[in-house]
Amino acid sequence: QVQLVESGGGLVQVGGSPRLSCAASGRTSSMYAMGWFRQAPGKEREFVARISWGGGVTYYADSVKGRFTISRDNAKNTVYLQMNSLKPEDTAVYYCAADRSAGKRTATSHYDYWGQGTQVTVSS
Q: How far apart are CA 83 and CA 88, in angstroms?
A: 13
47: confidence class by pLDDT, cuts 50, 70, 90: very high
Q: Could you give the angle at the alpha carbon of 98 between the alpha carbons of 29 and 104, nearest 5°?
A: 115
Q: What is the pLDDT of residue 86?
A: 98
For the stretch 60-104, pLDDT in tens is 999 999 999 999 999 999 999 999 999 999 999 999 999 998 888
CA dihedral defined by 43, 93, 54, 27, rounded to 10 degrees?
A: -110
Find the farthest-apart pair of alpha carbons in the chain and give their distance in angstroms, rounded.
Answer: 42
